[in-house]
């Protein structure tokens, strides 16, 4: 089998994915009998397109000279071209536009409409138009995977396949590394909100517009995707009651501490409601994680609660989730071919 791939967005996540693909493609060929051929890489100002396959070794060795590549074409856009490339997998890693989901939404719709499987690390299309995208993928018999959109490499969405004999009733989660980092630093080191936010930005956790983190919008988007996926809902971001962390003072954290509590920014899905807000959590609760970690606690019908935790941000972490999605699609396509 040949997997002809186009990557849209060569930022941190996209570049890390290319590195992983270079490392793992021989394994994918050997174990899954699938040749991964990278046909196109789109950036905002042009693209490298080579239908015979882009030389990944050369490309990554000369990463700084991306736009000097022999196959670079300036001002070429993915929109309108996706169906012309002869690809069967489109990987979307452009920056998220939380208001419109564009240009990722258009790329995803165009790929699916042309029978091309999709993997996305871009969350906005999914918290804005989850049902529309899922319905289209189903209609076209295409795979659409987006594990990296929630808690990055933590298998927050694919866990559903492992709980198929159970029922998830409620979700309680910490889904934004920036906010958890800020609250942890304020509580343990007593530093100010502004300084902690600056640190989170310097460490690369925060969104380009950090008000999306501290205002709770990023968490709300992830919660929508998580709840739709795991609880079978069809919500959008407008259905979430959102309160950020900007009103949390060092005094409030101090008072909480005296009583044996800590303040955490939680994402909760229960009884048809989606809530994002700061809440008091017992200091010895498993929800009391520090730094930029994410945590997801699932209340299940038959097996109590299940908790998993890990790095929720970072280029390589997200890229590893994309590679997982890719291998899973290869496995599914192989099954279909052999039937």
Q: Which residues are catalytic?
A: 222
From first CA to last CA, the distance across the chain in angstroms is 14
In sequence order, the 6+-apart residues with CB closer than 8 A to the CB of 148 are: 13, 120, 121, 318, 319, 321, 322, 325
Based on CB atoms, which residue is closest to ligand HSE, 94 or 178? Answer: 178
Closest CA to 293 of 269, 275, 317, 277: 317
Based on CB atoms, which residue is closest to ligand HSE, 42 or 217? Answer: 217
Based on CB atoms, which residue is closest to ligand HSE, 103 or 221? Answer: 221
Q: How far is the CB of 4 from ligand HSE (least distance, A)?
A: 29
List of residues contacting ligand HSE (CB under 6 A):
176-178, 205-207, 213, 218, 312-313
Task: Measure the CA–CA gap between 154 and 147, rounded to whole angstroms.
Answer: 8
Based on CB atoms, which residue is closest to ligand HSE, 69 or 94? Answer: 94
Q: In what order do the strands lie in the sheet with 46-49?
A: 72-74, 46-49, 35-43, 2-8, 89-92, 117-120, 144-145
Q: How far is the CB of 79 from ligand HSE (least distance, A)?
A: 25
Closest CA to 221 of 150, 320, 279: 150
Based on CB atoms, which residue is closest to ligand HSE, 164 or 208? Answer: 208
Q: Are 327 and 28 in contact (CB under 8 A)?
A: yes
Strands 2-8 and 35-43: parallel
Q: How far is the CB of 212 from ligand HSE (least distance, A)?
A: 7
Q: How far is the CB of 8 from ligand HSE (least distance, A)?
A: 18
Closest CA to 236 of 108, 110, 133: 133
Q: How far is the CB of 166 from ligand HSE (least distance, A)?
A: 27
- Name the token pair of 210: 């950090």
Task: Measure the CA–CA gap between 92 and 104, rounded to whole angstroms.
Answer: 7
């Amino acid at each position: 089998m040949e997997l002809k791939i186009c990557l849209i967005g060569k930022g941190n996540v996209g570049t890390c994915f290319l590195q992983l693909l270079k490392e793992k493609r021989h394994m994918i060929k050997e174990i899954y009998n699938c040749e991964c051929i990278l046909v196109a890489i789109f950036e905002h100002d042009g693209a490298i397109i080579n239908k015979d396959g882009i030389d990944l070794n050369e490309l990554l060795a000369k990463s700084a000279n991306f736009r000097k590549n022999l196959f670079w074409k300036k001002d070429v856009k993915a929109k309108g071209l996706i169906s012309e490339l002869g690809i069967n997998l489109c990987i979307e890693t452009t920056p998220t536009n939380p208001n419109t989901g564009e240009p990722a939404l258009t790329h995803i719709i165009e790929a699916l409409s042309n029978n091309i499987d999709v993997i996305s690390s871009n969350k906005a299309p999914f918290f804005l138009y989850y049902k529309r995208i899922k319905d289209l993928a189903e209609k076209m018999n295409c795979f659409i995977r987006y594990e990296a959109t929630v808690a990055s490499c933590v298998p927050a969405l694919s866990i559903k396949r492992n709980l198929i004999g159970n029922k998830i009733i409620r979700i309680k989660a910490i889904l934004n590394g920036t906010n958890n980092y800020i609250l942890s630093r304020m509580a343990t080191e007593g530093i100010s909100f502004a300084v902690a936010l600056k640190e989170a930005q310097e460490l690369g956790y925060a969104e380009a517009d950090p008000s999306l983190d501290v205002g709770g919008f990023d968490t709300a988007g992830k919660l929508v995707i998580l709840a739709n996926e795991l609880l079978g809902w069809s919500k959008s971001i407008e259905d979430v009651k959102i309160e950020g962390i900007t009103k949390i003072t060092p005094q409030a954290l101090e008072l909480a501490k005296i009583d044996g509590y800590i303040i955490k920014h939680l994402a909760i899905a229960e009884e048809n409601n989606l809530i994002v807000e700061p809440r008091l959590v017992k200091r010895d609760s498993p929800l009391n994680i520090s730094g930029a970690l994410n945590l997801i606690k699932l209340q299940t019908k038959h097996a109590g609660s299940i908790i998993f935790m890990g790095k929720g941000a970072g280029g390589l972490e997200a890229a590893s989730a994309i590679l997982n999605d890719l291998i899973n699609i290869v496995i599914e396509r192989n099954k279909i071919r052999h039937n």
